[in-house]
Amino acid sequence: MDFQGFLVNLLDGLAVAGLLFLLAVGLTVIFGLVDVLNLAHGALYMGAGYVWVVGDGTPSMLALIGALLVAIAAGSLMGVGLHFSLKPIANKGHLDQALLTLGLAMIISELVLHAQGRGFNTLAIPDALNGSVEIAGSQFPTYRLVVIGASIVLGGLAYYVFERTKLGSLTRAAIDDPQMLAVSGYDVEKIKIGVLVAGAALAAIAGVLGAPLLNLRPGLDNEVLTLALIVIVVGGLGSIKGAALGAVIIGLLQNLGAAYVPAVAPYLLFGLMVLVLLVRPRGLFGRAA
């Protein structure tokens, strides 16, 4: 096996893992901490990626920063809108949530594709990040390293906020015992809105960062949502550590499988998911019910 080629594929897998982590961590905190099954998460990712298309995909740092800011703002508004959309079915089960958010996903994706077209869009990487870095004798694209670094920083921040601060404790209490939290003087509704906004914003950031790496196309929303759900199943619902480990496993398995065993690569992810469910049904780091 060519070591340099293996290293490049390994780092490519980590870049994909970084995107999956940002997507999955937003989904897992929304579902695991505020008990909302958001199947519109993949549509938010795709919609954020198309922000660059609106700006003609200009390869500049200014365009990247502008796209990130616009996508975060739009994602945050979608998080607030999702909260109020779900209020009429607040006392119903996850099936109603799934149907509602699936409908929202279809509306978002169709509006985006109607406005931007149904072709493939390959976006240029900003000139300042379009170089390469030598690692162990191999040239590796700078932008992919930036994606890996950004996912580590944002993931670490999310872990600290939700697992090590009072805000994280309040968030968990909002789903475990909302009545007691309300009696203590906290606004449960605002806390839940904050989690939805944070999760949607992470999906938007992943969409912008991933636009130059994954072709924007019809069906991308369903593809990334499926991968994010597999990450959560493997890592464990409601666990940021689980989302991180699951994303690394899935990102590497998908990329290395496509490179070295393409004939069976499509079955590896689902085979791993079935294995984890058989051995540890709540995932590697999932909390016990």
Q: What is the mean pLDDT of residues 53-68?
A: 72
Does 148 fall in a domain? yes
pTM (whole model) above 0.95? no
Does 183 fall in a domain? yes
pLDDT tens for residues 164-215? 888 888 887 877 777 888 888 888 888 888 888 999 999 999 998 998 888 8
Does 287 fall in a domain? no
Dump the DSSP string for the chain: --HHHHHHHHHHHHHHHHHHHHHHHHHHHHHHHH----TTHHHHHHHHHTHHHHTTT--SHHHHHHHHHHHHHHHHHHHHHHHHHHGGGTTS-HHHHHHHHHHHHHHHHHHHHHHH-SS-B-PPPPGGG--EEEETTEEEEHHHHHHHHHHHHHHHHHHHHHHHSHHHHHHHHHHH-HHHHHHTT--HHHHHHHHHHHHHHHHHHHHHHHTTTS-B-TTHHHHHHHHHHHHHHHH-TT-HHHHHHHHHHHHHHHHHHHHH-TTTHHHHHHHHHHHHHHH-TT-SSPPP-
Does 127 fall in a domain? no
% pLDDT > 90, the chain: 27
Give the structural domain span for 81: 3-120+144-279
Does 189 fall in a domain? yes
pLDDT at 183: 84
Does 158 fall in a domain? yes
Does 207 fall in a domain? yes
208: domain CATH number is: 1.10.3470
Does 244 fall in a domain? yes
Q: Structural domain tally of the chain?
A: 1
